[in-house]
Chain A
Amino acid sequence: MSALSTAFTKALNPYKGRGESEQIQLAVIDRSMRGPALLFLISAVLWLLAGTVFALMAAIKSHTPEFMAESAFWTFGRVRSAHLNAMIYGWSNNVIFAVGLWLMARLCRAPIRHGGLLYAAGVFWNIAVTVGIYGILAGDMTSVEWIEMPPNVVPLLTLSYALIAVWGIVSFRYRRGEHVYVSQWYILGALFWFPWLYFVSQTMIIFAPARGVIQPITNWWFAHNVLGLWMTPMGLAAAYYLIPKVLGKPIHSYYLSILGFWSLALFYNWAGVHHLIGGPIPVWLQTAGIVGSVMMVIPVIVTAVNHHLTVVGEHSAVWKSPTLRFVVFGAMSYTLVSLIGSTMSLRDVNEITHFTHFTVGHAHHGVYAFFTMIMFGAIYFMLPRLIYREWPSATLIRIHFWCCAIGIGVMLVGLHVGGWIQGMQLNAVTEDGVPVYTFLEVMQNTRPWLMSRSFSGILLTIGHLAFAINFAWILLRVQPGPEASGPTLLQGESVGGGK
């Protein structure tokens, strides 16, 4: 090994041959992630609030189109995309960077080195997202769903992503201990999958466009896999870490974990094409997408069984811990949303649900009820350990949980039922093949359901505000109360601000 590469390896290697106890290692690791994680979390919460505002505006416009219609900046097409991008690249990616890197470092027993680069990359990432979303609102968006940001921010996003993700991989490279825990597989996989998805889709759609229908295929491969091979593995990694960690018992089965991971890696990649069922792409590809979607039942059932058998008998602990209450809600949503998704991919069902609000409901089921709820739980666990403070108010946590749980529940019922009715009415024809309903009638009939979505949006906004206030309080050193001497819990032994 040359002197240069030796020096390089030394610079990357996160420890210098010390033999600490596990607990001291965790303290050192938490300190190494403290600053960068705070940067990512603060950005994530701000983006969550911005994305919520965009979402509310888009939701109201969908049933009351004259709302704020006089300004081109806030037209539906732009606000909707601004919402999507703020939530994906702003909220989700920032929170993934914080939680994913922190979990990786903890599980590898390897502190994050060179945190200064993480600050820089984090700042650049958020600048790029801000510019991108401004570009969307200013009318410079591309017409491609999920990559609407103007192409000129893509290089900066890619570069900052690389500078952030590499530290997760370096931690893994210098991990200690023989056993690689299931969360580490998911995080390591996702850290490689996301840049591959992003690079390929940007190249084949924007920078060196492929011909014809290759573009939508690439588009939906990307869009679905951002959920499937980026958010899902990160969400599952957090659930796989937090459930056994908080309960203090091992995950039920290593074999189930391994089957779940590899079947997810194998099948999810195929599923995105189900967005193009009935479209002008070769039918074997559509069928492959359907088969991939249905086979996702395997990793989903496996994960559900694994989590359930770990949690079983500990339900009061789940209910008492803010972390687990959110994480278990998310894990259960994962099972439900995936099974619904597999069903939706079948041709007979897809004929009804395609091009309706059902799909919109399904997307929120995955990204919100599953991923976002788990990430809320992860933040409730992570932040007290990073800054040695407790959550100031258990009441705000309770408001957060119930507003989000009921809010997303109302939204899912509204959009699924409304979308199904919409699909049935769009497809309804008389014996002579004449449509029973005009397009305008079908649209009118969706209005009550869209209003229920706006109502759910108000609930979610309240929940997010409660979370943001608690988040600001803990950062600003608002104390839970003089008698507080332990973690903030939601029931029983609660010693935090919850009275």
Chain B
Amino acid sequence: MSTTEERPGAPAPEDQHMILEHAKLGDDSLQDVHAQLMREKEEPTEGFSPIPIYLLFVFCALTFWAGIYFEANSGHFKWYAYSTDFEVVDPSSQVPIDYDSLDWLIPRGERLYNANCATCHQTSGMGSPGVYPPLVDSRWVDGDPDRLIAILLHGLVGPIEVKGNQYNGNMPAFGAHPAFRRDRDLAAVMTYVRNAWGNAYEPILESQVTSLREELGNRGPWDGTEILQVYPLN
């Protein structure tokens, strides 16, 4: 770092002076520059030694490993494969799911109920006094499935009477709710409600939800008297 000897090939001093004048250097800074430059070594260059052959062998082995590892852990390049042990399943060998069976409806309905309904109606199905009516042993839940379906599809506002108590709440419409993307999701949650906490009523199926949805079309929420005129308690 402390070279002070003259570098070969440096231009004659008068040349340098002319060029540095161009760079607007004064005499003092000219000396500074000289002192600096004389200590510097050549700008770096590169030698041309060949790559050691053993390195190339190592890199080939690495590349080979990379190919094998990539293929073995790629989840067959499916976008929906999230784990290395993912296997593609032949669709023809799968048993189709029966969406009308209680085995499908109940667990699905329980999950949807706990995620979307239990905030108001409670996981016990008991609701809260004055606002959210209970679903346990209730004639609103029992009987004609269309009443329950109609309430879930379009919502219900205003005062109603359940099991002798007054409730004044606001049941939102779930007919276009993002958590219930298909009618079988609505069917599942209603079937769960009709069979949980000691309730034991007929399941509600997807086809029933779909046909009532078509029949009712677009409409606002029900109020407490209107719903009972159309679907009286039995």
| C-alpha spacing A245/B46, complex, angstroms | 11
| C-alpha spacing A290/B46, complex, angstroms | 33
| C-alpha spacing A282/B82, complex, angstroms | 5
Q: Mark A205-233, 1 if CB is under 8 A from B, else 0.
A: 00000000000000000000000000000
The A-contacting residues of B in range 11-43, CB under 8 angstroms, are 11, 15-16, 19-20, 22-23, 25, 29, 32-33, 35-37, 39-43
Q: Mark B1-19, 1 if CB is under 8 A from A, else 0.
A: 1111001011100011001
Q: Which of A157-165, A294-302, A464-472 contacts B (4 or more CB under 8 A)?
A: A294-302
Question: Do residues B55 and A305 form an inter-chain contact, with CB atoms below 8 A?
Answer: yes
Query: What are the residues of chain B within 8 A of A320 when measuring CB–CB?
Result: 1
Question: Do residues B11 and A287 form an inter-chain contact, with CB atoms below 8 A?
Answer: no
| C-alpha spacing A118/B36, complex, angstroms | 25
Closest chain A residue to B16, Cβ basis = A24
Interface assignment of B73: CB less than 8 Å from any CB of chain A: yes
Question: Do residues B66 and A21 form an inter-chain contact, with CB atoms below 8 A?
Answer: no
Q: Which of A21, A247, A253 contacts B51 (CB 8 A)?
A: A253
Question: Do residues A283 and B82 form an inter-chain contact, with CB atoms below 8 A?
Answer: yes
| C-alpha spacing A287/B84, complex, angstroms | 9
Question: Do residues A282 and B75 form an inter-chain contact, with CB atoms below 8 A?
Answer: yes
Nearest chain A CB to B74 CB, angstrom units: 4
Question: Do residues B47 and A253 form an inter-chain contact, with CB atoms below 8 A?
Answer: yes
Question: Do residues A26 and B40 form an inter-chain contact, with CB atoms below 8 A?
Answer: yes
Question: Do residues B41 and A259 form an inter-chain contact, with CB atoms below 8 A?
Answer: no
Interface assignment of A241: CB less than 8 Å from any CB of chain B: yes
Closest chain B residue to A322, Cβ basis = B1
Q: Mark A130-168, 1 if CB is under 8 A from B, else 0.
A: 000000000000000000000000000000000000000
Query: What are the residues of chain A within 8 A of B78 when measuring CB–CB?
Result: 282, 284
| C-alpha spacing A487/B74, complex, angstroms | 56
Question: Do residues A240 and B44 form an inter-chain contact, with CB atoms below 8 A?
Answer: yes
Q: Which of B57-65, B113-121, B152-160, B197-205 contacts A (4 or more CB under 8 A)?
A: B57-65
Q: Mark A233-265, 1 if CB is under 8 A from B, else 0.
A: 000000011011111101111111101000000
Question: Do residues A283 and B23 form an inter-chain contact, with CB atoms below 8 A?
Answer: no
Interface assignment of B50: CB less than 8 Å from any CB of chain A: yes
Interface assignment of B162: CB less than 8 Å from any CB of chain A: no
> With A21-B9, A301-B55 as given contacts, are A283 and B47 in contact (CB-CB < 8 Å)?
no
Closest chain B residue to A111, Cβ basis = B23
Question: Do residues A241 and B44 form an inter-chain contact, with CB atoms below 8 A?
Answer: yes
Q: How many A-B residue pairs have CB under 8 A?
A: 157
Question: Do residues B45 and A251 form an inter-chain contact, with CB atoms below 8 A?
Answer: yes
| C-alpha spacing A183/B45, complex, angstroms | 11
Nearest chain A CB to B67 CB, angstrom units: 9
Interface assignment of A195: CB less than 8 Å from any CB of chain B: no
Closest chain B residue to A292, Cβ basis = B66
Q: Which of B35, B55, B82 contacts A302 (CB 8 A)?
A: B55
Question: Do residues B44 and A181 form an inter-chain contact, with CB atoms below 8 A?
Answer: yes
Interface assignment of A430: CB less than 8 Å from any CB of chain B: no
Question: Do residues B22 and A291 form an inter-chain contact, with CB atoms below 8 A?
Answer: no
Interface assignment of B212: CB less than 8 Å from any CB of chain A: no
Interface assignment of A499: CB less than 8 Å from any CB of chain B: no
Question: Do residues B47 and A288 form an inter-chain contact, with CB atoms below 8 A?
Answer: no
| C-alpha spacing A57/B25, complex, angstroms | 48
> With A21-B11, A27-B37, A254-B47 as given contacts, are A284 and B22 in contact (CB-CB < 8 Å)?
no
Q: Mark A269-301, 1 if CB is under 8 A from B, else 0.
A: 000000000001111100110110011011001
Question: Do residues A21 and B16 form an inter-chain contact, with CB atoms below 8 A?
Answer: yes
Query: What are the residues of chain B within 8 A of A254 when measuring CB–CB?
Result: 46-48
Closest chain B residue to A254, Cβ basis = B46
Query: What are the residues of chain A within 8 A of B58 when measuring CB–CB?
Result: 301
Q: Which of A182, A295, A317 contacts B46 (CB 8 A)?
A: A182
The B-contacting residues of A in range 313-348, CB under 8 angstroms, are 317, 320-321, 323, 347
Question: Do residues A256 and B51 form an inter-chain contact, with CB atoms below 8 A?
Answer: yes
Query: What are the residues of chain A within 8 A of B19 when measuring CB–CB?
Result: 18, 20, 24, 28
Interface assignment of A23: CB less than 8 Å from any CB of chain B: yes
| C-alpha spacing A28/B16, complex, angstroms | 12
Question: Do residues A27 and B23 form an inter-chain contact, with CB atoms below 8 A?
Answer: yes
Query: What are the residues of chain A within 8 A of B7 when measuring CB–CB?
Result: 23
Question: Do residues B44 and A251 form an inter-chain contact, with CB atoms below 8 A?
Answer: yes
| C-alpha spacing A285/B51, complex, angstroms | 32
Q: Which of A248, A252, A347 contacts B42 (CB 8 A)?
A: A248
> With A18-B19, A251-B46 as given contacts, are A27 and B33 in contact (CB-CB < 8 Å)?
yes
Closest chain A residue to B67, Cβ basis = A291
| C-alpha spacing A301/B56, complex, angstroms | 11
Closest chain B residue to A263, Cβ basis = B59
Closest chain A residue to B49, Cβ basis = A253
Nearest chain B CB to A378 CB, angstrom units: 13
List, sorted by A's number, 20 A–B pairs whose CB atoms are closer than 8 Å.
A20-B11, A21-B9, A22-B43, A26-B37, A26-B40, A27-B33, A244-B45, A245-B44, A250-B46, A251-B46, A282-B81, A284-B75, A287-B74, A290-B73, A294-B65, A298-B59, A301-B58, A385-B36, A388-B33, A388-B36
Closest 9 CB pairs of A and B: A248-B41, A244-B44, A388-B32, A283-B75, A254-B46, A284-B74, A253-B49, A287-B73, A21-B11
**Beyond A31-B23, A248-B41, A487-B39, 4 additional pairs, beta carbon < 8 A:** A282-B75, A284-B77, A298-B62, A486-B4
Chain B positions within 8 Å of A, measured between CB atoms, are 1-4, 7, 9-11, 15-16, 19-20, 22-23, 25, 29, 32-33, 35-37, 39-52, 55, 58-59, 62-63, 65-66, 69-70, 73-75, 77-84, 86
